[in-house]
Amino acid sequence: MTSPGADPVRLAVAVEAPLHSGLHGPLDYLSERPLSPGALVRVPLGRRDVPGVVWTTAPGDDEGHALKAVTEVVDALPPLSARWCDLVKFTSTYYQRGLGEVAMAVLPPELRKLDNAGLASRIAKLRKAYDKPVPAAPAPVRPELTSDQADALAKLAEVNLPGAAPVVLLHGLTGSGKTEVYLRAAEAALAAGRQVLVLVPEINLTPQLEARFAERFGGGDTPRRIVSLHSGLTPAQRLKNWLAAHLGLADLVLGTRLAVFAPLPRLGLIVVDEEHDPSFKQQEGARYSARDLAVYRGKLEGSCVLLGSATPSLESWQRAEQGRYLRLTLANRVGGGVLPKVRLADMNLLPKVRGATTALAPALVAALAKRLERGEQSLVFLNRRGYAPVLHCTDCGWKSGCPHCSAWRVFHKGDRTLRCHHCGFTQPVPRACPDCGNLDIAPLGQGTEKLEEQLAAALPGARVARIDADTTKHKGALEASLSAVHAGEVDILVGTQMVTKGHDFRRITLVAAVNPDSALFSSDFRAPERLFSLLMQAAGRAGRDAAQADRSEMWVQTWHPTHPVYTALRQHDFKAFAASQLKEREIAGLPPYVHLALMRAEARTPEAARDFLQAAADLAAELPGANELLLYPPVPTTIARVAGVERMQMLVEASSRPQLQRVLSPWMAALPSLRATHKGVLRWALDVDPLAI
Ligand code: ADP
Ligand code: ZN
Ligand code: ZN
């Protein structure tokens, strides 16, 4: 496309190169005119035309290589900012993925498809829509701040000086008024003409929070524009909202982890709500932590970052303890509501019926009955869907294993199927034991379906409803169930942890965890932290209405009532819990005291996966800086086989991030060379700062 006489410009363009191709950096192209870094272009790659982002430009092309020319310049789109490019670059380097891969993965899919003319017309339409005045809504009524909130905001204002970009950890129980603090901090940023980014862990929580932000900022004299960004949007909506952010039309962007990459030319504040939540970590492709990237982005943009949680991650907590983050505490619930009383039902003390302990402690059943009498609601949760996690034969010991995975298939009573929750393999329940023909095959353990049945049997007349991934598969089902709960049509709500997050149930005065112990002895070192957080969050569901708070209870059925997790829960004492966990982590040499990366490999046989990881370890050992690392032997993952594929992993440990990073990049670059000698390996992937090991 270079016309004779014009001075061609050499460009490095970030494009999505095939995985394991070894092409990790930007590729060189020619353009007949100068382009800014951050400009969107289409370039030839192989036999295709692919979208790319101009990364750097250099004058001329003296060497006269046979560089290919840019096919199209999508200049309807203003270039992405240098700060945005820095964020993408950091993500690519830190999480060890291709630059173009990251850049393309975080742009809306629709943007990659449109040509310049198509995009220009979308943008014109969008600008026109934003030109229309908002229908006037009344100015919002702001509540008077509690003294906790006022203190927190005053301290925030002290540190949030221009250029300071502080990271603030807002620690406050559910219902302590954190959201109000976000709203006020956002108000200040908006008043200063800045944009605000709010990250939430779950799509389901966005409408609720969006409504609260819209109520506060959508009306009055200077109504603000709010958009959301998450994977639940249609491609067209996602592009529209992304453009509104990038063009500076939207003032507030609310979204899930991918929104951390929203281009925001006037960004002034980043809020990460429920900052401890595991869903901020992307689990495929570039396995980034949106929480960590938010902190990095705050530094890049000179913006304040506000991390909020009732149970902060131990990483953030430690940084606050070290004074690297400013900790602000909201110690009380708004309106003086007290936290529910925590009652532990000691399962060891229960009588056995036919050799088995009853599933529901009589004291819990009595407490539920009391709620029924008073017309109050209860929430009972169990983190396992289906009827029973496994079927077994009492004669020969057969169990309902999955033929494709190293996991049991779950018994679903509703449709009488055995279903593997890992690969989806589903079959009707056999009439008799497939091994010995015995007709007496029985469910072992308890899932939400069974719990629903047990509650209905123990409390005749109670209106029991269940919310889990099975009952909410269809669009609208979750909303319908939730509104039934809000309308008071449900006495007892049964569910997985799905029901414990965020929902503001007003009439619930009892929350019960019927079988949370398994997390105490999990091989996952973060399991106790998660359990504590889950139980605290669940407890927060009860007694949100101050009038009922004094008779609110959180029940925990446990075989280990003296476990420190439960002791801390009884006191609602996160500080004590965090201190004991951090001590344990320090002694055991676990994060945040060490830094980890996990290399996973998948193959048809465990040997092939292991051999590959062993060879990878040998490669790593040759690299400069390898002596600072600890490479553990390859081991099978927790569920070693899924859908017929064997999975092994190898842990890499270092005492500092730079030590780890120094080796990871050359290591990742060297790995494709193993393909020729390790044909059995299907895939490998590196997870930097893995959540579970
Ligand atoms: P959190 O985000 O910590 O769970 P919220 O900000 O949602 O807490 O506050 C809990 C409840 O208290 C909400 O219904 C909220 O509207 C109300 N609230 C928050 N701050 C105040 C205040 N200063 N005065 C009156 N009500 C408030
Ligand atoms: Zn049998
Ligand atoms: Zn399976």
Ramachandran assignment for 336, one of left (phi > 0), alpha (psi -120 to 50 degrees), beta (any other): left
| C-alpha of residue 641 to centroid of ligand 3, in Å | 8
- pLDDT tens track for 104-161: 999 999 998 899 999 999 999 999 999 998 887 888 889 999 999 999 999 999 999 9
Q: Round the average pLDDT of the chain to a whole number and report it.
A: 92
Q: Which structure tokens are listed for 199?
A: 């990250």
Q: Measured between alpha carbons, how far is 279 from 611 in angstroms, rounded to an integer?
A: 32
Confidence (pLDDT) at 22: 57
Percentage of residues of the chain with pLDDT beyond 90: 76
Q: Provide the CA 586 distance to its chain's centre, in angstroms.
A: 25
Question: Residue positions in the annotated binding site?
Answer: 393, 396, 402, 405, 420, 423, 433, 436
Confidence (pLDDT) at 479: 85
Give the list of residues 6+ apart from residue 442 with CB closer than 8 angstroms, or none.
391, 392, 394
Predicted confidence (pLDDT) at residue 476 exceeds the cutoff of 90: no
Question: 145 CB under 6 A from ligand 1?
Answer: yes
* Topology of the domain comprising 337-386+446-585: Rossmann fold (3.40.50)
Confidence (pLDDT) at 62: 59
Confidence (pLDDT) at 2: 43
Which CATH architecture best describes the domain 595-688?
2-Layer Sandwich (3.30)
Predicted confidence (pLDDT) at residue 542 exceeds the cutoff of 80: no
Note the helical H segments in 472-605.
Answer: 477-486, 527-539, 546-549, 564-570, 574-588
Inter-helix orientation angle 290-301/82-94, to 10°: 140
- How many Å is the Cα radius of gyration of the chain? 27
Domain regions of the chain by residue span: 9-109, 147-335, 337-386+446-585, 389-444, 595-688
Sign, CA torsion 47/53/58/60:
positive
- Model confidence band, residue 544 (pLDDT cutoffs 50, 70, 90): low
- pLDDT tens track for 622-678: 999 999 999 999 999 989 999 999 999 999 999 999 999 999 999 999 999 999 999
Question: 146 CB under 6 A from ligand 1?
Answer: yes
Q: Which structure tokens are listed for 37?
A: 């870094």
Ramachandran assignment for 227, one of left (phi > 0), alpha (psi -120 to 50 degrees), beta (any other): beta
- Model confidence band, residue 355 (pLDDT cutoffs 50, 70, 90): confident
Question: 181 CB under 6 A from ligand 1?
Answer: no
Mean pLDDT within 597-619: 97
Q: Which amino acid is at 97?
A: R
Ramachandran assignment for 465, one of left (phi > 0), alpha (psi -120 to 50 degrees), beta (any other): beta
Confidence (pLDDT) at 3: 47
Contact 230, 169 (CB under 8 A): no
Predicted confidence (pLDDT) at residue 565 exceeds the cutoff of 50: yes
Confidence (pLDDT) at 524: 85
Which atom, in ligand 1's list, is nearest to the CA of 330? 3
Contact 355, 410 (CB under 8 A): no
Mean pLDDT within 219-232: 92
- pLDDT tens track for 43-59: 999 889 999 999 998 76
Q: What are the residues whose beta carbon lies below 5 Å from ligand 3 (ion)?
A: 402, 404-405, 420, 422-423, 425
Tell me the ligand closest to 639's alpha carbon: 3
Question: Residue positions in the annotated binding site for Zn(2+)?
Answer: 393, 396, 402, 405, 420, 423, 433, 436
Which atom, in ligand 1's list, is nearest to the CA of 144? 23
Nearest CA, atom 24, ligand 1: 143
Q: Helix (H, G, I), strand (E, B), or coil: what is residue 684?
A: strand
Confidence (pLDDT) at 221: 87
pTM of the model: 0.92
Confidence (pLDDT) at 1: 46
Q: Measured between alpha carbons, how far is 462 from 459 in angstroms, rounded to an integer?
A: 6
Question: 308 CB under 6 A from ligand 1?
Answer: no
Tell me the ligand closest to 405's alpha carbon: 3
- Model confidence band, residue 163 (pLDDT cutoffs 50, 70, 90): confident
Give the highest mean pLDDT range of 210-214, 287-291, 414-418.
287-291
Predicted confidence (pLDDT) at residue 314 exceeds the cutoff of 60: yes
- CATH fourth-level superfamily of 9-109: PriA, 3(prime) DNA-binding domain (3.40.1440.60)
- The edge-to-edge listing of strands for the beta sheet with 417-419 is 410-412, 417-419, 426-428
Please state, in angstroms and as integers, the Cα–Cα distance from residue 278 to each residue in 214, 272, 289, 307, 313, following that order: 27, 13, 9, 14, 9
Please check whether the two domains, 147-335 and 337-386+446-585, share a CATH topology: yes
Predicted confidence (pLDDT) at residue 20 exceeds the cutoff of 60: no
Predicted confidence (pLDDT) at residue 18 exceeds the cutoff of 70: no
- Model confidence band, residue 427 (pLDDT cutoffs 50, 70, 90): very high
* Topology of the domain comprising 147-335: Rossmann fold (3.40.50)
- Backbone torsions φ then ψ of 562, nearest 5 degrees: -95, 5
Ramachandran assignment for 327, one of left (phi > 0), alpha (psi -120 to 50 degrees), beta (any other): beta
Question: 545 CB under 6 A from ligand 1?
Answer: no
Contact 29, 70 (CB under 8 A): yes
